[in-house]
Amino acid sequence: MKSPRLYAIGFMVIATAIACNTRPSEEAETYNKLFDEVITAHDEIMPAMGKLNSLSKKLEQEADSTDSSGILDSLEMSHKAMMDWMKDFSEKFPYGEFNPKDKTTEEITAKINILEEEKNEVYELRELISQSIEKAEKLLSEK
C-alpha cells in the first residue's frame, strides 16, 4: 500500500501544475483583443454624439433650405444608428456575463465571430458619423 504522504505529494504536484497554467487560451486572448477594439472604437465615437445633437439643433434653427434638411436627416440617421448599435451590442454582450476563462473553445469562437461583425459595424458607424458631422459643419460654415 502506498503511503498517504506519497498521495499528498502527488496531489500537490498536480495542483501546482494546474495553478501555474493560468495563461489564457489563444481564443480567449483573441476575444479580449477584439472586445477591446470594439469598445475603443465606441469610446472614440461617443464624444461625437454631443456634436451630432448640437449640429442638428443649429441646422433646425436654420432650416431654410432643402440642403440642410438632407444633412439634418443624415445627422439624425447617424444618431439613431449609434443608439441602435449600442442597444444591439449590449444585448449580445451584457456587462459581466461573458468571461472567456469560463467558456469552451467553441463558445469563445462563436463570440469572436460576433465580435468581428460588431467591429465592422462600429467602424462603419464611425465613418458614417464622421461624414455626417463633416457635411453639417461645411454647410453651416457656408451660411
User: Mean pLDDT in each 10-residue stretch from start to end of the chain (143 residues)?
Assistant: 60 57 78 96 95 92 71 94 97 89 92 97 97 93 80
The answer to whether residue 6 is domain-embedded is no
Q: Is 105 within 8 Å of 27 (Cβ atoms)?
A: yes
Q: Report the number of distinct structural domains present in the chain.
A: 1
The residue range of the domain holding 123 is 24-142
pLDDT tens for 72-105 read 999 999 999 999 999 999 999 998 888 888 889 9
The answer to whether residue 16 is domain-embedded is no
What does residue 69 show for φ and ψ, rounded to 5 degrees?
-70, -35
Cα–Cα distance list, 13 to 1, 24, 132 (Å): 20, 21, 61
